[in-house]
Structure 1
Amino acid sequence: MTGPFMTESAAVRPDDVRIMRALQVAPRASFASIAAALGLTESAVSRRYRRLRADGVIRVAGVVDPGALGQSKWLVRLRCRPGGVTAIADALARRDDVSWVALTAAGSEITCAVRSRTREQREDLLGQRLPRTASVIDINAAAMLRQFVGGRGHYWAALRGTLTPEQESMLGNDGPPFTEAPVVAREPLRLTAEDEKLLDLLAADGRAGLVDLAAAAGLTPGRASRRLDALLQRRVVHIDVEIAAAALGYQTQANLWLHVHPSAVKSVGRALAREPGIAFAAAVSGPHNIHAVAHCRDLDELFEFTTDRIGSLPGLQSMEVSPLHHQVKQAGTLLSGGRLVEPSRRAAKRSDAAAGGGRRGPGLPRRARESCPPVV
């Protein structure tokens, strides 16, 4: 793989990439702190960040981990009949409990990540709605057992080395250090109404200030600060830094489904986490015991990467490479033309629609409803 400075997009400059890396290290650091670490002016950092956000290159958002609430995360593969796949993918992407949606297999398969906040919500989607959807031919759902890279402070390694160790130490860190924690907490946390309001605002803007967070939750800034710290330490929420890979020159993405000898799952997962070409990797249940997402410049680089770097990992027994035909949603944010789409205020303030804090999106468009039951 190549270095971190992807210059195919004229809109993204080296200083922009340095700011992205600074946000990976400390997502809620002030512009003044980032400017001091990078040797830039505060106004320059603020201006560049706002432009990158407006251009859909980067987004900072609070992402709730259902594992801390006693729920599991699932990766789902849907084989669909021609003609219905786009409507189903769009409907899934509108659900708040579906955080990642992509079309693969030349557009005949949907891969999505389900992060339902309640058991009832998950069972309704996986056990009732999707199986009754006429366009869905086959469903394969795998539980996420251990996450090696992607969120929770362990980010895509493509930007490592952009800043010096001294610059990164100046920035500090906004949350607890990354650990391969269990996917489901042994002592689930019960959220309060104030917690839910904090989380709603963080979902819209992970850099929201304490005054805004306090106003949203009806708390004093001091209480809002303490509650936010508690939610971060308990890993209920992590501040995710989403980056549009295409804007950095990575035009080809692919799902990798690996079958690894059981004794090598941890070592392979940790090796994947160190690879600049891997944006996500997790151990999962089912015949493929590791799932990963690769970002490459083109199909030739994907071939070289999967054969030379991944194919040589000790313990790997087989691998399925499935290039993404179209990505609809990434880590909770919709995409359009390879760029991140800011959520609307209306969507950010949408109230709970299911018991226990679960959320649902709107129904399928009319053309999809005519052929199959809605999946939302």
Structure 2
Amino acid sequence: MRMESDTFDELDLRLLDALEINGRASFSRIGAVLGVSDQTVARRYRRLCDEGGLRVVAVRDAERLGQDHWTLRLRCVPDSAPAIAEALAKRPDTNWIGLAAGGTEIIFGTRPRSPGDRDDLLLGKLPRTPRVLEIHAHQILHRFYGGPSGWLRKFAVLDDDEVAALRPEPRPATSGPARIEPEDEPLLAVLERDGRATYPRLQRATGRSESAVKRRLAALLASGAVYVDVEYRSEILGYPTAAVLWITTSPAALHRVGEALATHDEIAHAAATAGPSNIIATAVVRNTADLYAYLSGPLGRLEGVQHVEASPFLRRVKQLTYPSPGR
């Protein structure tokens, strides 16, 4: 893959990739790997934040935590979808929201904190929401690509040595399942807004010592309960077109197709689901012609694919826990 942008260049892409590998790496460490000064990294970082929508945030990995998570698809009365999407964006259990289908469709992800919260949303609030005509709920069963595996890795702008130099120091594997304890909530409340928050700031927010904060954050990251992700507008890289793909395969082909999708450059996320389709994927491409070429080519040629529906995004309303900036 290659970047096509008149505003941002290869160094910006390398910086984004470095942050995707280690979102908390210092500017001096990133600069040493990229071969530029830490002042240059800081300047590029600020510009990406101001002009490219860059945010570095901590994300709870629902799959590693064994938590319920869903993708929902709402069909709405014309002109009502933006207001409904804005209301959904205020809910703490929604983590991304997009408008599609000419503005009459809302697609969003939700991670209910409890079965009660899930039932309140799926069986209570949404069915009673005026101007919602249809609800399709897809429970996520297995992730093929996405989460800690970022789309930028498919550009391969950093070599293996550079990637190794950026990765956090390895920690011994933790025993038992990944867990987030109640006392971790103040720490995560800050990191979900700013994944690069300094240790002194985290110390003030938690009341723990700086060394205790460092140990606990390192343990959360090592266990996979939490990962640090980057949000940005893909159009700054020359890829402004994104679409959710609703894919139906034969049961025997489900895993094989999902694994194949994970290798495709166009796919930023893919997961097996329960619901009307059995795979949901997000494709990111340069234009509608490239989307057509992907649907009719690499995706269309996969053995076992029986049906594909594409829902191009019109606008992102929320990403990575909080409403998207500049929307």
Deviations 1:340-374 (A, max 9, x none): xxxxxxxxxxxxxxxxxxxxxxxxxxxxxxxxxxx
Q: 1:65 and 1:39 mapped to 2: Cα distance?
A: 32
Query: How far apart are the structure 1 equivalents of 2:304 and 2:207?
Result: 53
Output one character per residue of 1:30-61: Cα deviation in whole Å (capped at 9) or x when no partner: 11111111111111111111221122432110
Alpha-carbon distance between aligned partners in 2 of 1:188 and 1:165, rounded to the nearest angstrom: 28
Tell me by how many angstroms 1:282 deviates: 0.7
Q: Distance in 2 between matches of 1:158 and 1:169?
A: 13
Kindly indicate whether the alpha-carbon contact (under 8 Å) linking 1:78 and 1:136 is maintained by their aligned counterparts in 2.
yes
Provide structure 1 residue ranges, at least 5 long, that are not aligned to the other structure: 177-185, 339-376
Report whether the alignment pairs 1:160 with 2:163: no
Q: CA deviation at 1:246?
A: 1.5
Unmatched tracts of structure 2, length 5 or more: none
Return the alpha-carbon distance in structure 2 between the equivalents of residues 188 and 336 of structure 1.
Answer: 31
- Percent of pairs identical after alignment? 39
CA deviations on 1:305-355 (whole Å, 9 max, x unpaired) are 1111111112211111121122212232433567xxxxxxxxxxxxxxxxx
Q: Which residue of 1 aligns with 2:235?
A: 246
Contact in 1 for aligned 2:17/2:153 (Cα 8 Å): no
1:120 to 1:188, Cα distance in 2 relative to 1, 3 A: farther
Q: Which among 179, 187, 191 is matched to residue 189 of structure 1?
A: 179
Which runs of structure 2 are paired with 1:109-148 in the superposition (5 Å)? 109-148=105-144
Whether the 8 Å contact between 1:26 and 1:174 is mirrored in structure 2 is no
Amino acid at match of 1:221: E
Q: Which residue of 2 aligns with 1:89?
A: 85
Q: Aligned pair in 2 of structure 1 residues 199, 248: CA closer, same or farther (>3 Å)?
A: same
> In structure 2, how many angstroms separate the alpha carbons of the residues matched to 1:304 and 1:337?
31
Tell which deviates more after alignment, 13-22 or 232-241. Answer: 232-241
Runs of 4+ in 1 over 6 A off after TM superposition: none
Q: Shift of residue 234 of structure 1?
A: 2.9
Q: State the 1:226 CA deviation.
A: 1.2
Decide which of 165, 168, 186 is 1:170's aligned counterpart. 165
Aligned partner letter, 1:60: V
1:237-265: per-residue Cα shift (whole Å, max 9, x none)? 21111121111111211110000122222
| Structure 2 residue 260 is the aligned partner of structure 1 residue 262 | no
Q: Aligned equivalents of 1:188 and 1:221: distance in 2?
A: 23
2:93/2:112 contact within 8 Å kept: yes
Residue number among 196, 209, 213 corresponding to 1:207 in the alignment: 196
Residue aligning to 2:292:
303
Q: Residue 6 of structure 1: CA displacement?
A: 2.5
* Contact in 1 for aligned 2:97/2:318 (Cα 8 Å): yes
Q: In angstroms, what is the RMSD of aligned CA positions?
A: 2.0
Hey, what does 2:33 align to over in structure 1? 37
The count of residues paired between Structure 1 and Structure 2 equals 323
Aligned to 1:4: 2
2:67 paired residue among 71, 78, 96 = 71
